[in-house]
Amino acid sequence: MSKISSVVKKLTSYRLFLPIFCLILVLLSNLIKTPAFFEVSIKNGVLYGYIIDVINRASDLVILAVGMTFVIAVSGGTDISVGAVMSVAAAVCCYILAGGQQSVNEFQNPYILGVLAAMAAGVLCGCFNGFLVAKMKIQPMVATLILFTAGRGIAQLVTKGQITYIRVESYKMLGASIPGIPIPTPVFVAFLVVAITYVLIKKTTLGMYVQSVGINPRASRLLGIKSTWIIFLSYAFCGICAGIAGLVASSRIYSADANNIGLNLELDAILAVALGGNNLGGGKFSLLGSVIGAYTIQALSTTLYAMSVSPDQLPVYKAIVVVVIVSLQSPELKKMWKKLSAGRAVGKEVA
Amino acid sequence: MQKEVVLSMRNISKTFPGVRALDHVDFTLRQGEIHALMGENGAGKSTLIKVLTGVEEFESGEIRIAGAEGAIINHSPQEAGEHGISTVYQEVNLCPNLSVAENLFIGREPKRAGMIDWKTMNQKARDLLDSLDIQIDVAMAVENYSIALQQMIAIARAVDMSAKVLILDEPTSSLDENEVGKLFGLMGRLRAEGVGIIFVTHFLEQVYAVCDRITVLRNGALVGEYEIEKLPRVQLVAKMMGKDFDDLEAIKKTGESREQTGEVVIDARGIGHQGTIKPFDLEVRKGEVIGLTGLLGSGRSELARSLYGADKADSGELKVNGKAVSVNSPLDAMMAGMAYLPENRKEEGIINDLSVRENLILALQAKKGMFHLLSRKEQEEFTDKYIQLLQIKTADRETPIRQLSGGNQQKVILGRWLLTQPDFLILDEPTRGIDVGTKTEIQKLVVKLAGEGMSVMFISSEIEEMLRTCSRMAVLRDGQKVGELREEELNQNNIMKAIAGGEANE
Amino acid sequence: MKKKRNIDGNTFLLMITIVLFFVMYLIGILVFKDKGFAKPQVFLNLFISNAGLIVIAAGMTMVMIAGGIDISVGSVVALTCMLLAWMMDVKGIGAVPALILVLIMGLVFGLAQGYLIAYLKVQPFIVTLAGMFFARGMTAMISQEMISVKNTTFQSWAKAKINLTFLGGTVNKKGVMTYPFIYPGVLIALAVLVIVFVMLKFTKFGRTIYAVGGNEQSALMMGLNVKRTKLLVYVANGFLCALGGFLFCLNTCAGFVEQAKGFEMEAIASAVIGGTLLTGGVGNVFGSLFGVLIKGTIETFITFQGTLSSWWTKITIAALLAFFIILQSLFAKAKGKKK
């Protein structure tokens, strides 16, 4: 009996145990609901199937979760402006590509310009947040609240209050697929972002510095790490990620819908990071964990949709999951649990 | 004239896992007396206070207080307050946004018809402060007043709530001379009213300025209780350090006298930091091991920190290897060739979730800059080298450092700094919490490094360690550098005399 | 000894807000004089349309003084409206019992959030973010489509004009004497303000809120019950959110999923612009009232202007919020240096 418990103990001690366990759980429940869940076929030259859909739709969230991981790891705070920044980036891109018009059938300016503009918008927003948090030492949730409020308004201004449409086949490719390649493009983009970030972490000092600052900012300062700079960079990076995610989301609907792009994705991004086993208070992080968390959430949404839950009602379940996870992470709860089991142990002794 | 005993603690013992914090300690406080409680690191001062005020429990012994029948046990600070014992801590526990009057009376505000009566509260506050000779606007928020004044407000609250025993825990650390004088005035008035004051401090001069009695603790045990007039300074120092001071003996240090002819590596003129260390001058030569000695709280760590930029110096000039250097942050100091092993490794040393390897190479990495990543191979080589050199016991390079024992953690941090190959290495209590065998190794290592040309600053509470390794010592007292001892003068007695100060035999 | 009364930083911030409001209103009168900006009804409308926000801003102020924050308020308002509409028009429950039930709902919601924050010590931001999504989702679960409130009692409350005859009337185009008017909601909102003000200034609970927000550790050491105070603050806030939602519903007479989106930002902005410090310990409900009035004035501006999109209100508020946040942080830095 004890051998099994020791195996279980070893399994649960792996960092990625929680995220992988949750993912498997959700995938299984999907399978139960939809027996054809894992079936994959090729339609119109592109991979097709429920599971493909999940992976595809999760891409925006994966990209956001990558950026959010850094922000949470380095400062224990969150960036709730990511959804709004996506909207701004999409608006800027479509504005440039449409040359200021509301609906176009061909690019008014080179595609690459639109892409760069979107990423620049993302970076700028990130730098704004980073400046407030790192330099002005304002609490992260408050600092990012500003763009959360104003971001969509700015996007509306750029698109002049209308939805800007880019009815160009090549624009849709980013959100759909490139002819000749069976894998949907968003999946590629997500993969690329994760891969580049991974390289950044391993091949530069960024990963180590972020963790060091997040775990012990005092010690980090004493050994020569410029924590202000690192925090600033993390928020800027999160901004870029939001910009890229905005591009993908915009491409899916070949337009810039300031009100709806990235709507409610903030909570999903935070949830993804938490589900990934990362401590919401900051410190050591696992990029892979957040990525797995993002796919888990998307799969969870799919399960719930299959159970006839509407998109508007979905947040209820996500909220419950968040509350459960952070409660479990709470040291206070652990203390209470200890007291309770100590009391029970004493009771046993006496008996 | 024997005053009445207001508080008596007898045979108090308390054990924490692995350490005997208090071992049959007695403490007596009389009415209208200012009684200093002193001791070096691990002496048990704070544990004794915690036990008295109910923050911690004690295993044996008893506490009696005037006015209460039989022995009492305080289970919480509130209960201690009901027995007439209150504490004012170093970090003044007031609410900065509330007014003076409110801070004095919060939780017990005067009410009229169920509503708080501000007028009466303000008047009562004014009366209370007047009785203590403090005249300030009680309606202003407390944060508008200096720390010194805040402290006095905290004391006024404590005294108003319970008048028998007042514990002042390191109250003067953030005060300037003027403010200390005012505080002493207040303490004098309280003493005249019969309040018993326990004054926990490490400032020698202040103890002699205002106290009636001293109790010295060492390693959890009572060394003794003394009347101030009967205890010369140097005897006090000796008792705190656990040494014997014999005026007639002069123990000469054996061994060759090392000639200090190397060029000057560190030239500090007038470096100081507001509130922690008064401006000082210091020269350190190549290959020299300079020790900083003084009682706990005398400013040793603070001096080191102001050199290194851990606490940015706000006065003075620093030259490293002849070149003027402006140290705005630790990185500047590192780039100039300095390294600093902090006293508090838990809070300022280890990055506890990172691996041994990462902790070890971080400082060198920071020096190299963000874009010159040390290759994994290099990192592993360095890590293995220092694991070997310092005999660090770890399962693996990748083990999270928090899983190592305290001593091994310390070795990793030491290795971190040695890896940066500094010209000037500052070691603040490098052997604390390390087993005896390794202590010796580290001391030998220090001498070896000095022989190879590294300059080392060595801070330790254990005089023998420093005597074995240092070729010169700077002496600190009460937040100031008060002198230096040359090689020939280095012996226990001279050190204690220097620490105690001018009127050593008074 | 002479009494030197300096104007401390927080009072100064509040003064800026009050002056700002008057300046903005005056500009409005000057620019839109011919469109009738100077009419007293325009001023009263500020209160009528924002009665709900006033109540919620009062609750938010309380929470922020204690050092916390609550971003679920908008969603709770939506949930309140939807519940009221559903209870009255789908389930046929009377207006009064429906009102009582939503107020209880508000208390329970606040209790749940408060427990997680005060006793399990989870970050308030995360808890209330989850609360926001939970409440919004629940609104959709009750009904995906809009439910209009047709309950006659409720409608009568909503239409109960109170004519302020003492302000003097004017004869309108139809030859009828019309007076400036308000609705009962305004009176409720003002009553809430007064009650919360008195509570914060004159009760032990109120002063403990300030203490906890100022320095939680000190408050604990002074023997104050920090956990219970924090819990009760969120419970009270939950109640006020439900009440504010009720007032909101009187204006809209409907419940739908997208209602009150972004309301929490308006409440936070009103509180911050009104002088409530984000770091806690400082705040004044009447300052928050001015914050609400400023927002109302900007909205009125935009309405009178006619061509600007309503998003400009949000952007201006966000800009003001940013301005005040940075101002607060600069003041805090200056204070730190003084020592």
CATH code (residue A314): 1.10.3470
Average pLDDT over residues C12-24: 88
Interface of B with A in 452-491 (CB under 8 A): none
Q: CA A92 to CA A44: how far, in whole Å?
A: 31
Pick the last residue of a domain from B241, B257, B274: B241
Task: Kindly report, residue by residue over A157-208, the tens digit of the pLDDT.
Answer: 888 878 888 787 777 777 777 777 778 888 889 999 999 999 988 888 888 9
From edge to edge, which strands make up the β-sheet containing B472-477? Answer: B338-341, B424-428, B455-459, B289-293, B472-477, B480-485
Average pLDDT score over residue span A14-27: 79
Cβ-Cβ contacts under 8 Å, A222 against chain B: 310, 330, 340, 342, 348-349
B145/B227 same-domain check: yes
pLDDT 10s digits, A290-306: 999 999 888 888 888 87
What is the chain B residue with the closest CA to A283? B353
Q: Å from A260 to nearest chain C CA?
A: 12
In the block, residue with structure tokens 């209009």: C148
B329, B348, B358 ranked by CB distance to A208: nearest: B358
**Distance between A183 CA and the closest CA of chain C, angstroms:** 33
Specify if B85 maps to a domain: yes
> Could you tell me if B234 and B295 lie in one domain?
no
What's the half-sphere exposure (Cβ side, CA atoms, 13 Å) at C109? 31
Chain B residues contacting C via beta carbons under 8 Å:
77-78, 81, 89, 93-98, 102, 106-107, 109, 114-116, 118, 135-137, 140-141, 143-144, 146-147
Q: Which residues pair with B196 in a beta bridge?
A: B165
Residue B2 is predicted with a pLDDT of 62
Q: What average pLDDT is seen over chain A?
A: 85
B63: CATH: 3.40.50.300
Whether A350 is covered by a domain: the verdict is: no
Q: How many domains does chain A have?
A: 1
Q: Is residue A348 part of a domain?
A: no
| Residue range of the domain that includes B407 | 287-312+328-500
Question: Within this chain, do residues B339 and B469 fall inside the same structural domain, yes or no?
Answer: yes
The predicted structure's pLDDT at residue A349: 55
Confirm or reject contact between C267 and chain B (CB < 8 A).
no
pTM score: 0.84
Kindly indicate whether the ipTM for this predicted assembly is greater than 0.90, answering yes or no.
Answer: no
Structure confidence by residue, pLDDT tens digits, C149-160? 888 888 888 888
d(CA A308, CA C157): 38
Judged by DSSP in three states, B165 sits in strand
Is residue B271 a part of any domain in this protein?
Answer: no
In a domain, A67, yes or no: yes
Cβ-Cβ pairs closer than 8 A, A with B, add up to 68
Q: Within a domain: residue B295?
A: yes
**SS3 category, C151:** coil
Report residue A12's pLDDT band, with 50, 70 and 90 as the boundaries: low
Q: Does A2 reside within a domain?
A: no
Helix (H) or strand (E) holding B101: helix B100-105
d(CA C180, CA A66): 56
The set of residues, in sequence order, having a beta carbon less than 8 Å from that of A259 and lying 6+ positions away, is A87, A152, A156
pLDDT tens-digit series, residues C313-323: 878 888 888 88
Residues B437 and C297: their CA atoms lie apart, in Å, by 76
**Is residue B276 assigned to a domain?**
no
Contact: C125, A141; criterion CB under 8 Å: yes
* Bigger pLDDT: A5 vs C244: C244
A296 in Cβ contact with A23 (< 8 Å): yes
Helix or strand holding residue B338 (H, E):
strand B338-341
Nearest CA in chain B to C1: B135
Q: Is residue B214 part of a domain?
A: yes
Residue with tokens 């595809």: A56
Residue A347 has pLDDT above 60, yes or no: no
Residues of B in contact with C8 (CB under 8 A): 140-141, 144
Pairing outcome for strands B455-459 and B472-477: unpaired
Residue B375: its chain A contacts at CB < 8 A? none
Record the tokens describing residue B459, joined without a space.
């801070």
Is residue B215 located within the same domain as residue B299? Answer: no
Same domain flag for B84 and B190: yes
Residue C335 in this model has a pLDDT that exceeds 80: no
Q: Give A13-33 as a DSSP string.
A: HSTTHHHHHHHHHHHHHHHHH
- Which of A15, A202, A223, A231 is the best mutation test for B, with the most CBs of B within 10 A? A223
> Does C12 lie at the interface with B, CB-CB under 8 angstroms?
no
Res C337: pLDDT = 64
pLDDT in tens, C209-232: 999 999 998 898 888 899 999 999
What are the extents of the domains in chain C?
49-163+176-260
Give the pLDDT confidence of C51-100 residue by residue, as tens digits.
Answer: 999 999 999 999 999 999 999 999 999 999 999 999 988 888 888 999 99
Q: From chain B, pick out residues whose CB is under 8 angstroms from the CB of C201.
A: 116
* Closest-CA distance of chain A to residue C258, Å: 10
Would you say residue A9 lies in a domain?
A: no
Query: Could you list the pLDDT tens digit for every one of the 506 residues in chain B?
Result: 467 899 999 999 998 877 788 999 999 999 999 999 998 877 888 889 989 988 888 889 999 998 888 888 888 887 888 888 988 887 788 999 999 999 999 888 888 888 899 999 999 999 999 888 888 899 989 988 888 889 889 999 988 887 789 999 888 877 878 888 889 999 998 999 889 999 998 888 889 999 999 999 988 899 999 999 888 888 888 888 777 766 544 444 444 455 566 788 899 999 999 888 899 999 999 989 999 988 888 889 999 999 999 989 889 999 998 889 999 889 999 999 999 999 888 889 999 889 999 999 999 999 988 778 888 899 999 999 999 888 888 888 898 898 888 778 888 999 999 999 999 999 998 887 777 777 777 888 888 888 888 999 999 888 888 888 888 999 998 888 988 988 888 888 888 888 887 554 44
User: What percentage of residues in chain C have a pLDDT greater than 90?
Assistant: 48
A7 lies in some domain: no
The residues, ordered by sequence, that sit 6+ positions from B212 with a Cβ below 8 Å of its Cβ are B33, B34, B35, B227, B228
C337 CB near a chain B CB, below 8 Å? no
Task: Let me know whether B351 and B413 are in one domain.
Answer: yes
Report the number of distinct structural domains present in chain B.
2
297-316 in B: which are within 8 Å (CB) of A?
Answer: 310
Instruction: Give the model's pLDDT for residue C339.
Output: 45
More confident residue, C104 or C148: C104
The predicted structure's pLDDT at residue C2: 35
* Predicted local distance difference test score (pLDDT) of residue B258: 54
Using CB atoms, list chains with 3+ pairs below 8 Å to chain A. Answer: B, C
Is there a single domain that holds both residue B108 and residue B22?
yes
Query: For the segment A43-67, what is each residue's pLDDT rounded down to a tens digit?
Result: 777 777 788 888 888 999 999 999 9
| pLDDT, mean of residues A98-107 | 79
**Residue pLDDT, tens place only, A139-151:** 888 888 888 888 8
Local confidence band at C198 (pLDDT 50, 70, 90 cut-offs): very high
Does the distance separating the beta carbons of C204 and B97 come in below 8 Å?
no
Whether the CB of B422 is below 8 Å from some CB of chain A: the reply is no
Classify burial at B90, counting beta carbons within 10 Å of its beta carbon; exposed 0-12, middle 13-18, buried 19 or more. middle
Q: Chains A, C: CB contacts under 8 A, how many?
A: 120
Which residues, at least 6 apart from A164, have a Cβ–Cβ distance to it below 8 Å? Answer: A91, A94, A95, A98, A101, A102, A103, A255, A256
**Mutating which of C10, C222, C335 best tests the B interface, going by the most B Cβ atoms within 10 A?**
C222
Check residue B297 and give its pLDDT: 81
Q: Which residues 6+ apart lie within 8 Å of B147 measured at CB?
A: B92, B174, B175, B179, C339
8 Å CB contact between B459 and B370: no
Top mean pLDDT of A124-128, B255-259, C2-6, C45-49 is at A124-128
Q: Which residues of A touch B (CB under 8 A)?
A: 203-206, 208-209, 211-212, 215-216, 218-226, 283-284
For residues B15 and B122, state if they share a domain: yes
Averaged pLDDT, C286-307: 89
Distance CA C336, CA C338 (A): 5
